[in-house]
């Protein structure tokens, strides 16, 4: 038994050392943990939305809202028709949301479009920090909004929930701002991968949606791990079937490409209409109302406005995935799909523009899908011998539309392929998305997106520190014997050590053989001529806290430690055995390495 415990302790120690010294292992562990947290949160969120929505809309109000094949959790006959209850449900949710926001998180008014945009803002402007109250309140009110029939998506709140989990975990582990931002994206990726059952698409969307022309490559590994783990937990509970129960669409006739290019043009136009309408209603209608009357009246009005639209047109209630499936199966008319484009845009703008909680992703997929449905149906009527599967245009429209309004060319494309578990439409997907992105490059759904890393406050220092980040301590420190002082060494003995050494700083070893502090000459000057202290003062009394370097750390990290400690030299210890001092790195060694590397780069240019 004792031998088993000893071996178990050894494995634990090896894991801790690997976590500290191997960067990939660190992100492997953190990605798995934040993915598990987000996956469990996605399960609770999804059940809450579906259960409460079935009770309120189906049972109490009597609405029969179609659901896609992969999301029919609850079934049964609908209750008696009471459409007037929409005003009670949505008006009450608006009132409650307004009170919660004004009381606890009023700053979220400036968070942007939805939960995803709030995550983007936290990445660029807040060092990856999200207050725990923000995702808790936003996710809770999103459940109420969507379940009551509000035109909003689930991905905004779930990506904010995942980002909040990543930010919270990074804070508990005391990670750096850079690592906290990566954890933020990993959590958002987990949320998207789970709720859309698209692990790769969720990860890619999370790392590219924060920029218009770039993506966060450093966050890709933990984002993929988080998304896979979150997706696995979600599908373990609800199954791995795709959301839509549709046939496999295939692209086989090259003559269809002009129609898909036309679809890209249409998606660019409807994208401009979608974003423009949302911002007009938000900033010209509801923001002035909020400024004048406060959160509660404005959000209540938003809820009542959505209730009026849902009362007149029940097709606008909820996220609309069931109607998308019907469009893919060819069961909706052109007139109805065209009306849904306008109606869904207005309904989503009223709900989210007023400040109610939810996501813009799912409504954007809805509008894009209906745009594709209109183009596909009209193309089949005109050229029935060429366009044989108009339902495929719905899928392509979903990806092209969101790629254009979110400036995310890869993630939505892969996500739509994962939604349908098929890549038969990959070529037209790429063509339509490219056309939409080129034509709609000035349109952006997310207000806090920036063009690239150079425009992000999160990367403002990258242009000056990347040279030092390329260099490691192991290549520049001075290896060899180091004068190490024991904690109990008296001041009289210290002077002998100092006289016989050229070093400016001396590591101090504690009782456990670890370096417990650093003795600096500049600190000794204060008591150098106090003879009465020779027998009283010991090294541990004068030493500063230990500041150590490892060979695998970069020189930028070393520079920060020099600045924070104000020491001229720092000891370099073995990454696997911190009791072993390998040598010393001086502050001038860092500056010399910077100058040499910069000179080398200029010579190559």
The per-residue pLDDT for range 514-545, each reduced to its tens digit, is 888 888 877 776 665 565 555 667 777 777 88
Q: Please tell me the distance from the alpha carbon of residue 389 to that of residue 327, in angstroms, as a whole number.
A: 12
Q: How confident is the model at residue 335 (pLDDT cuts 50, 70, 90)?
A: very high
Q: How confident is the model at residue 72 (pLDDT cuts 50, 70, 90)?
A: confident
Q: What is the mean pLDDT of residues 97-103?
A: 94
Q: Looking only at Cα atoms, what is the longest distance across the chain? A: 104
8-state DSSP, 213:
S
- Parallel, antiparallel, or unpaired for β 485-486 and 505-509? parallel
8-state DSSP, 445:
S
pLDDT reported for residue 601: 63
SS3 state at 186: helix
pTM of the model: 0.75
Strands of the sheet containing 581-586, edge to edge, are 478-479, 581-586, 569-573
Superfamily holding 466-604: CBS-domain (3.10.580.10)
Q: Are 507 and 484 in contact (CB under 8 A)?
A: yes
Query: Which residues, 6+ apart, have CB-to-CB distance to 112 below 8 Å?
Result: 118, 120, 121, 446, 447, 448
pLDDT reported for residue 18: 46
Q: What stretch(es) of the chain map to CATH 3.10.580.10? A: 466-604
SS3 state at 13: helix
Query: Which residues, 6+ apart, have CB-to-CB distance to 229 below 8 Å?
Result: 31, 32, 35, 36, 39, 190
Q: Are 524 and 503 in contact (CB under 8 A)?
A: no
Instruction: Tell me the pLDDT of the chain averaged across its residues.
Output: 86
24-238 has which fold?
Answer: Clc chloride channel (1.10.3080)
Q: How confident is the model at residue 462 (pLDDT cuts 50, 70, 90)?
A: low
Burial class (CB in 10 A: 0-12, 13-18, 19+), 99: middle
Q: Please give the residue that has the higher pLDDT: either 421 or 534.
A: 421
Q: Please tell me the distance from the alpha carbon of residue 535 to that of residue 312, in angstroms, as a whole number.
A: 91
Q: How confident is the model at residue 136 (pLDDT cuts 50, 70, 90)?
A: very high
Centroid of chain to Cα 50: 24
Counts of helices then strands in the chain (DSSP H, E): 24, 7
**From residue 177, how far is each of 21, 69, 125, 460 by CA, in Å?**
19, 42, 11, 13
Q: What is the mean pLDDT of residues 388-403?
A: 92
Task: Count the Cβ atoms, other than its own, within 10 Å of residue 204.
Answer: 27
Q: Please tell me the distance from the alpha carbon of residue 427 to that of residue 22, in angstroms, as a whole number.
A: 40
Q: What is the mean pLDDT of residues 409-421?
A: 81
CATH of 254-457, one of 1.10.3080.10, 3.30.43.10, 3.40.50.2300, 3.40.50.720: 1.10.3080.10
Q: What stretch(es) of the chain map to CATH 1.10.3080.10? A: 24-238, 254-457
Q: Which residues of 428-438 are buried (b: 16+ CB within 10 A; e: fewer)?
A: bbbbbbbbbbe
């Amino acid at each position: 038994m004792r031998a088993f415990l000893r071996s178990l302790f050894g494995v634990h120690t090896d894991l801790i050392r690997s976590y500290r010294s191997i960067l990939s292992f660190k992100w492997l562990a953190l990605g798995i943990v934040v993915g598990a947290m987000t996956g469990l949160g996605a399960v609770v969120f999804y059940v809450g939305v579906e259960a409460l929505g079935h009770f309120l809309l189906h049972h109490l109000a009597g609405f029969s809202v179609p659901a896609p094949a992969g999301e029919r959790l609850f079934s049964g006959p609908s209750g008696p028709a009471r459409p007037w209850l929409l005003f009670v449900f949505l008006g009450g949710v608006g009132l409650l949301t307004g009170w919660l926001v004004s009381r606890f998180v009023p700053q979220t008014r400036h968070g942007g479009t939805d939960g995803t945009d709030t995550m983007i803002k936290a990445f660029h402007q807040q060092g990856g920090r999200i207050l725990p109250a923000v995702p808790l309140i936003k996710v809770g009110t999103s459940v109420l909004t969507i379940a009551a029939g509000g035109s909003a998506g689930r991905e905004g709140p779930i990506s904010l929930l995942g980002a909040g989990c990543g930010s919270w975990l990074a804070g508990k582990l005391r990670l750096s701002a850079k690592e906290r931002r990566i954890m933020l994206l990993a959590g958002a990726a987990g949320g998207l991968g789970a709720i859309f059952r698209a692990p790769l698409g969720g990860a890619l969307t999370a790392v590219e949606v924060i920029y218009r022309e770039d993506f966060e490559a450093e966050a890709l590994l933990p984002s993929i791990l988080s998304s896979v783990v979150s997706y696995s937990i979600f599908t373990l509970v609800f199954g791995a079937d795709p959301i839509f129960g549709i046939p496999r669409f295939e692209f086989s006739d090259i003559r269809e490409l002009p129609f898909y290019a036309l679809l890209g043009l249409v998606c660019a136009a409807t994208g401009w209409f979608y974003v423009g309408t949302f911002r007009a209603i938000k900033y010209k209608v509801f923001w002035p109302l909020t400024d004048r009357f406060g959160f509660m009246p404005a959000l209540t009005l938003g809820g009542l406005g959505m209730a009026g639209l849902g009362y007149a047109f029940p097709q606008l209630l909820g996220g609309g995935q069931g109607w998308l499936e019907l469009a893919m199966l060819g069961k909706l008319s052109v007139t109805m799909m065209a009306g849904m484009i306008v109606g869904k845009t207005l309904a989503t703008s009223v709900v989210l523009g007023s400040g109610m909680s939810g996501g813009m992703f799912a409504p954007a997929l809805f509008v894009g899908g209906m745009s594709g449905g209109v183009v596909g149906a009209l193309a089949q009527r005109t050229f029935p011998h060429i366009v044989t599967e108009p339902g495929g245009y719905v899928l392509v429209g979903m990806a092209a539309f969101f790629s254009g309004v979110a400036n995310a060319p890869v993630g939505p494309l892969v996500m739509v392929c994962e939604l349908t578990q098929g890549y038969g439409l990959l070529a037209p997907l790429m063509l339509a998305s490219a056309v939409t992105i080129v034509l709609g490059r000035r349109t952006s759904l997310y207000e806090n997106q920036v063009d690239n890393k150079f425009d992000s406050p999160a990367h403002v220092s990258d242009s000056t520190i990347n040279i030092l980040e390329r260099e490691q301590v192991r290549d520049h420190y001075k290896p060899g014997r180091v004068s190490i002082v024991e904690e109990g060494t008296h001041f009289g003995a210290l002077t002998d050590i100092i006289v016989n050494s050229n070093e400016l700083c001396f590591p101090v070893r504690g009782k456990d053989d670890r370096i417990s502090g650093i003795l600096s000459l500049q600190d000794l000057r204060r008591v150098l001529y106090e003879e009465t202290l020779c027998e009283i003062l010991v090294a541990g009394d004068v030493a500063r806290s230990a500041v150590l370097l490892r060979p695998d750390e970069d020189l930028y990290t070393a520079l920060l430690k020099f600045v924070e400690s104000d020491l001229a030299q720092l000891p370099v210890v073995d990454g696997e055995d911190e009791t072993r001092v390998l040598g010393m790195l001086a502050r001038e060694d860092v500056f010399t390495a910077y100058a040499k590397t910069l000179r080398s780069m200029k010579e190559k240019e």
